[in-house]
Amino acid sequence: MAEGNCLFCKIITGDIPGDVVHRDERCVVIRDINPQAPTHVLVIPFEHLESLDDASQKDEPLLGHLLRVGARVANDEGHSENGYRTVINTGAGAGQSVFHLHIHVLGGRPMHWPPG
Ligand code: AMP
Ligand code: ZN
């Protein structure tokens, strides 16, 4: 399951440290090392999928779980009232830099639309 050269797989196994805010049987949530908002966390499934593009029908329950965990963490961080943003960058052209599927959850400042 873990891919040898994948940063997020190494964070999941503990080989590389991460600032973990939540962990359950399917995913881990860590604080982004280069935060773009007062709250910026990454919801990362244990399963190594390169991107959303690699997800198939069997992954639908996992994807739903990741979104709900992101919402729960955003609420725990106090962003229920003012809102928060969930982002999945898919492919280098869309800004993906770590090729292990993850959901960004950002909150604590006004968000603009359209995103850059
Ligand atoms: P993306 O560009 O959508 O693939 O998102 C990857 C995110 O991982 C970026 O926001 C990086 O700041 C973040 N990141 C890279 N290395 C680490 C790390 N060691 N711990 C936490 N976040 C990281
Ligand atoms: Zn991985």
Domain ranges of the chain: 3-107
> Which superfamily, per CATH, for 3-107?
HIT-like (3.30.428.10)
Q: Is 39 in the pocket of ligand 1 (CB under 6 A)?
A: no
Give, for ligand 1, the residue of 13, 32, 36, 86 to mutate: max count of ligand atoms closer than 8 Å to Cβ.
32
DSSP SS3 for 79: coil
Q: Is 98 in the pocket of ligand 1 (CB under 6 A)?
A: yes
Q: Is 95 in the pocket of ligand 1 (CB under 6 A)?
A: yes
Per-residue pLDDT band for 1 (boundaries 50, 70, 90) equals low
Q: Is the pLDDT of residue 82 over 70?
A: yes
pLDDT value of residue 28: 98
| Residue among 87, 74, 61, 89 at smallest CA distance from 22 | 74
Q: Is the pLDDT of residue 76 over 70?
A: yes
Supply the residues annotated as catalytic: 102
- Predicted confidence (pLDDT) per residue in 13-50, tens digit: 999 999 999 999 999 999 999 999 999 999 999 999 99
pLDDT value of residue 116: 82
pLDDT value of residue 3: 82
